[in-house]
Amino acid sequence: MSFKKENYYTYVEQAKDLVPGFREAYSKFNERVILDQCSKILVSNYTRNLAQLALHFGRVPHEVSVDEINAYLYRLTVHEKLSISYFKQTVFGLRYWFRLYGMEDKALQMPVIKKTETLPTVMSKEECRELFAAPRSLKHRFLLAFAYAGGLRMNELRHVKINDIDVERRQIHIRQGKGKKDRYVILSDLLSDRLPKYLSEVKPLVYLFEGLTPGVVMGERSIQYVINEALRKTNIQKEVSMHTLRHSFATHLLEDGVDIYSIQRLLGHSDIRTTIVYLHVSQVIPKVSHSPLDTLYGYKQ
Give kind and range of the element (H or E) at residue 177. strand 171-177
φ/ψ bin of 83: left (φ > 0), alpha (ψ from -120 to 50), beta (otherwise): beta
30 within 8 A of 47, measured Cβ to Cβ = yes
Q: What is the CATH number of the domain that holds 178?
A: 1.10.443.10
Q: What is the mean pLDDT of residues 18-24?
A: 93
What is the phi/psi pair of residue 9, to 5°? Answer: -65, -35
Is pTM beyond 0.75? Reply is: no
Q: Contact at 8 Å (CB) between 154 and 243? A: yes
Provide the pLDDT for residue 228: 94
Q: Is the pLDDT of residue 234 over 90?
A: yes
Distance of alpha carbon 14 from the chain centroid: 29
Q: For residues 62 and 68, what is the distance between their CA atoms, to the nearest angstrom?
A: 11
Q: Are residues 149 and 273 in the same domain?
A: yes
Q: What pLDDT does 207 receive? A: 96
Instruction: Tell whether 236 and 205 lie within a shared domain.
Output: yes
Domain tally, the chain:
2
Shared domain check, 216 and 102: no
Question: Of 80 and 165, which is predicted with more confidence?
Answer: 165
225 with 101, same domain? no
pLDDT band at 133 (very low <50, low <70, confident <90, very high): very high
Q: What is the pLDDT of residue 201?
A: 96
pLDDT value of position 274: 74
Q: Identify the three-state secondary structure at position 172.
A: strand
Instruction: Report helix, strand or coil for 166.
Output: strand
Based on the fold, state whether residues 204 and 257 are members of the same structural domain.
yes
Q: How confident is the model at residue 9 (pLDDT cuts 50, 70, 90)?
A: low
Average pLDDT on 69-82 reads 85
Residue 111 has pLDDT above 50, yes or no: yes
- Is 78 within 8 Å of 86 (Cβ atoms)? no
Range name among 57-66, 96-105, 177-186 with the lowest pLDDT average: 177-186
Asked, for residue 133, whether it belongs to a domain, the answer is yes
Structural domain that includes position 221: 125-280
Q: Looking at the predicted structure, is the pLDDT value of residue 231 above 60?
A: yes
Per-residue confidence (pLDDT) for residue 299, from 0 to 100: 65
Looking at the domain assignment, is residue 294 inside a domain?
no
Q: Answer yes or no: is pLDDT of 212 > 50.
A: yes
- Mean pLDDT value of segment 269-273: 78
pLDDT computed for residue 1 by the predictor: 44
pLDDT for position 295: 63
Is the alpha carbon torsion for 196, 219, 212, 175 positive or negative?
Answer: negative
What band does 3 get if pLDDT is binned at 50, 70 and 90?
very low
Q: For residue range 191-202, list pLDDT tens digits in order.
A: 999 999 999 999
Q: At what angle do helices 242-255 and 260-267 cross, to 10 degrees?
A: 160
List the catalytic residues. Answer: 153, 178, 243, 246, 269, 278
What pLDDT band is residue 289 in, cutting at 50, 70 and 90?
low
Is 300 contained in some domain?
Answer: no
CATH of the domain at 58: 1.10.150
Listed range (45-49, 112-116, 141-145) with the worst mean pLDDT? 112-116
Predicted pLDDT of residue 100: 87
Task: Compute the half-sphere exposure of residue 8: CA atoms within 13 Å on the CB side of its CA.
Answer: 10
In the three-class reduction of DSSP (H, G, I as helix; E, B as strand; rest coil), residue 181 is classed as strand
- Answer yes or no: do 178 and 246 share one domain: yes
How many whole angstroms separate alpha carbon 95 and alpha carbon 85? Answer: 15
User: Which pLDDT score is estimated for 4?
Assistant: 44
Residue 152's pLDDT is: 92
Residues 151 and 228 in one domain: yes
Report residue 214's pLDDT band, with 50, 70 and 90 as the boundaries: very high
Burial letters for 218-252: b for 16+ Cβ neighbours within 10 Å, e otherwise?
A: beeeebeebbeebbeeeebeeebebebbbbbbbbb
Mean local confidence (pLDDT), 158-162:
95
Backbone Cα Rg of the chain = 24
Instruction: State the average pLDDT for the chain.
Output: 85
User: CA torsion, points 126, 159, 268, 273, in degrees to nearest 10?
Assistant: -70
119 DSSP 8-state letter:
P
CA 113/CA 259 separation, integer angstroms: 33
On whether residue 295 sits in a domain, the answer given is no
What is the spatial distance between Cα 145 and Cα 213, in angstroms, rounded to a whole number?
23
Residue 37 pLDDT exceeds 80: no
Q: How far apart (Å, rounded) are the C-alpha atoms in residues 270 and 265?
A: 8
Please check the confidence at residue 284 and state whether its pLDDT lies above 60. Answer: no
